[in-house]
Chain A
């Protein structure tokens, strides 16, 4: 237990060190500060452990010490040069009425977190994909450095998708390493933490344009959704992926509205984490890259183009080593790209009706998502003019192309989409739903007349 506590302390210190290195002298509201620190900490803890493992060091207490001490030195240097990120005190007082409504709206969150904790820490790995794809790899990486682990080249385990990204296994293995023993349940603690991080990212995104209680209510609406609750503590990587994606999108929105290059760098880093968490994360990298290019073209501002390098650097640093390493691993997954051809698409066009109906059925079932998608549809219909604003257009573009890309995967995939969609669609829609929530938040702020930047003071230097 002490080892786990130290592990999470190191994650926080690491996240803060990276944040200070990127956002010199910034002041952030607490609700923005916490998810950034935790999100960066988790992402870099997984990434650094992968790098150490490539060097022959499996996750261990000494490796953890190296990470903690390095992060500590970085923070010390930031303090010495006065480049630290501080928490900004809230500028506006909340009225007692708003406070009561906020608490009322937030109470279900407490129970939701309890449920996620029960799923995560009350049980071992019970989901097929959870232990097959992530739990097993975590055990392997706990006992061997990746370069020494025969598992990754053992064709008898081909069905375990040996070349799947390793962010989650490394984060789980880190807990085993910190404890100095192989634990069955405690490594699953990372899942409730990702659930909370995703919630805090989304709250932070909503809070930038909405008053406290509305942001709380929408966050609660999202986090208590049956599909989110069902998978958050199960040991699958979908919610962690959605958490990193939320971070990438929020930083992207901020960059679109402020044009500060560190925001774009952060967006690139979070997009990189997505690529190292699940294969679908590589699609997210492509989507965000397209969005960045689209915004640059729309703004027609040549001076902004060099900022693309910041974004590219963030993505490349995180995903580059992994993509290079995975080239030597046996390619035994579905390899959807190989099926991507006009011939396959035209051959499988008959699936299209079924795929479209399945997606519409899932998102229009108000109980699946706590009416999130229905609210989005209604607001989009009554606020059509607001949709044409740059940030909203970008978010809609991301949402639509993301869903379209998943539909395309079902269309070209070698497996019949019937059973596959039943097993995976709700999990894939978890990846997309944070953007849907952020669009809802922006519509709400438009309707209620809230000014995006007047409700909360932003970063200052």
Chain B
């Protein structure tokens, strides 16, 4: 038994249908192949991602930036929780840096914890992080299993630098 299917509203009278069909078909095909080639063959981002996968040295991509810090955190902080301190950074000028360090490190080291504050406060942006970015006490660090502190600061010529302080030596 066939379900009752209404003949829909998509049919239409075909004036010069054959010619029109051929023209439309040719246009669709040419546009499809041409656009696909442009999109696939000439797109910088796609080419870069492939080159990166194949081991080529390509800088300034999203991936390079994330990877650089992934390696930094994985290599330097193999154990325990981490506290990140920001000294002298500007909440506007260094907004992306502050946020990405906190979030990328948290993502990377999970299920270990990354702290930027010792308070249970709502952190919504770089300004709120900097406002609460203090270590209340040594005992807080111990109680929360913080083995290392990384401090990001600015050098005299404005470059970013970091120092690592261990509260406990990493196990081998």
Contacts and interface: CB of A to CB of B under 8 A. Distances in A.
B107 A125 contact: yes
Interface stretch (B8-16, B135-143, B146-154): B8-16
A158 interface: yes
B143 to A, nearest CB: 15
Interface in A253-268: 257-260
Given A126-B63, A158-B123, A332-B124, A108 B107 contact: no
Contact of A156 (B8, B99, B120): B120
Interface stretch (B28-36, B86-94, B158-166): B28-36
Chain B CB within 10 A, most for which of A115, A386, A442, A451: A115
Contacts of A157: 106, 123
Contacts of A101: 29
A157 to B, nearest CB: 7
Contacts of B53: 118, 122-123
B56 interface: no
Nearest to A121: B53
Interface stretch (A29-37, A128-136, A164-172): A128-136
A226 B43 contact: yes
Q: Tell me if A's interface is mostly helix, strand, loop or mixed.
A: helix
Chain B CB within 10 A, most for which of A226, A383, A445: A226
Contacts of B5: 257-258, 453, 458
Contacts of B39: 112, 224-226, 229, 367, 370
Given A224-B39, A226-B43, A447-B20, A104 B33 contact: yes
Nearest to A374: B31
Contacts, number: 198
Contacts of B21: 447-449
Given A375-B31, A447-B24, A124 B70 contact: yes
A72 interface: no
Interface in B103-128: 103-104, 106-107, 110-111, 115-117, 120-125
Contact of B10 (A122, A160, A452, A458): A452
Given A122-B50, A131-B104, A156-B117, A371 B110 contact: no
Given A135-B107, A221-B28, A461-B1, A158 B40 contact: no
A214 B70 CA distance: 46
Nearest to B7: A453
Interface stretch (A2-10, A195-203, A388-396): A388-396
Contacts of B110: 136, 139-140, 143
A57 to B, nearest CB: 18
A13 interface: no
B72 interface: no
Contacts of B29: 101, 104-105, 217
A460 B1 contact: yes
A55 interface: no
A111 interface: yes
Contacts of A260: 3
A220 interface: yes
Contact of A118 (B50, B100, B116): B50
A371 B35 contact: yes
B124 A122 contact: no
Contacts of A444: 24, 28
A445 B10 contact: yes
B10 A127 contact: no
Contacts of A160: 103
Interface in B22-53: 24-25, 28-29, 31-33, 35-40, 43, 45-46, 49-50, 52-53
B3 A105 contact: no
Contacts of B36: 108, 111-112, 220-221, 224, 370
B46 A229 contact: yes
Interface of B: 1-12, 14, 17, 20-21, 24-25, 28-29, 31-33, 35-40, 43, 45-46, 49-50, 52-53, 61-63, 66-67, 70, 99-100, 103-104, 106-107, 110-111, 115-117, 120-125
21 contacts: A115-B49, A118-B49, A123-B49, A125-B107, A126-B63, A128-B62, A155-B122, A155-B123, A156-B122, A158-B122, A158-B124, A160-B103, A221-B32, A221-B36, A229-B40, A257-B5, A258-B4, A370-B32, A386-B10, A448-B20, A452-B8
Given A125-B66, A156-B117, A446-B12, 19 more contacts: A118-B49, A124-B70, A126-B61, A135-B107, A140-B110, A158-B124, A230-B43, A370-B35, A389-B9, A391-B8, A447-B24, A448-B17, A449-B17, A449-B21, A451-B11, A452-B10, A459-B3, A460-B1, A461-B1
